[in-house]
Structure 1
Amino acid sequence: VACLLEEDPLSLVPEGMHIIGDSAYPLLHQLMRPYRDNGHLTARQKRFNRKLNAARVVIEHAFGIMKSKFRRLRYLQMRNIQNISSA
Structure 2
Amino acid sequence: MRADAITYKDYNAYSMLYLYHPFRKEIMRQVVANIHSSISAREQEMLVIYNNPVCHELIIKDGVFCKQREYPDGWGNGIFVYSNKNLQHSRLHRSLS
User: TM-score, length-normalised on structure 1?
Assistant: 0.25
Structure with the higher fraction of residues in strand conformation: 2
* TM-score normalised by L of structure 2: 0.24
Name the larger-Rg structure.
1
Q: Which has more helix, going by share of residues?
A: 1
